[in-house]
Amino acid sequence: MNISPELPVHRPAVLELNRLAFKGDEESRLIKNLARDNSILASFVALDGGEVVGHILFSPLHLTVNGKRIDAVALAPMCVVPSRQKQGIGTLLVEHGIEAMKSAAHDAIIVLGHVDFYPRFGFRHDLARNLACAFNQYEAFMGLELRAGSLGGKPGTCTYARAFA
């Protein structure tokens, strides 16, 4: 298994993988719209023998906490080919993505994701619930501090890239 940056040659497989994993076209359309708007900060694929078996994407997020701008990113989408789920591929993708976002000096990551999956990486709803956002009432809306105290459960605002609308 190899995690690497998504290359243009991977895009058709990434779009198909997202369509299969999410049982619809919404995430594939999101990826296309983020690309159209130049709003992809990082996109990684899990490759097994050259086959794309997983994908994770990060985009810019306008985030303020206590009136101060926080350098945050949105994690979405992330998926693994259905026949390969529960084999650690998603874990590898998320761990790789977190390290890449730390290396890029981002302060925080926000995700709307599975409450049984993301907390193992440190994502917590209490860190994000006071951010004014369309998703903050959901337990699945979680934050991860890459810089200690950057979120802290404090009040703020969270605006996703236009492609999410």
Confidence at residue 139, expressed as pLDDT on a 0 to 100 scale: 95
Residue 147 has pLDDT above 90, yes or no: yes
- Which residues are CB-contacts of 19 (< 8 A; sequence separation ≥ 6)? 25, 27, 28
- What is the Cα–Cα distance from 32 to 141, expressed in whole angstroms? 23
Confidence at residue 26, expressed as pLDDT on a 0 to 100 scale: 96
pTM over 0.75: yes
- What is the Cα–Cα distance from 111 to 124, expressed in whole angstroms? 10
Inter-residue contact 77 to 30 (CB < 8 Å) = yes
Mean pLDDT of the chain: 96
Residue 165 has pLDDT above 90, yes or no: no
Confidence at residue 6, expressed as pLDDT on a 0 to 100 scale: 98
Confidence at residue 4, expressed as pLDDT on a 0 to 100 scale: 97
Instruction: Provide the domain limits for residue 11.
Output: 2-164
- What is the Cα–Cα distance from 98 to 109, expressed in whole angstroms? 8
Bridge-based pairing state of the strands 131-132 and 156-160: parallel
- What is the Cα–Cα distance from 73 to 106, expressed in whole angstroms? 7
In percent, the amount of the chain with pLDDT more than 90 equals 96
Token output for 159: 């605006």
Inter-residue contact 128 to 154 (CB < 8 Å) = no
Residue 51 has pLDDT above 90, yes or no: yes
The count of structural domains within the chain is 1
In percent, the amount of the chain with pLDDT more than 70 equals 100
Tell me: the pLDDT tens digits for 5-31? Answer: 999 999 999 999 999 999 999 999 999
Mean pLDDT of 28-53: 97
Q: What is the CATH number of the domain that holds 95?
A: 3.40.630.30
Token output for 37: 């708007």
- What is the Cα–Cα distance from 67 to 34, expressed in whole angstroms? 27
Residue 18 to residues 35, 65, 113, Cα–Cα distance (Å): 15, 32, 15
Tell me: the pLDDT tens digits for 65-107? Answer: 999 999 999 999 999 999 999 999 999 999 999 999 999 999 9
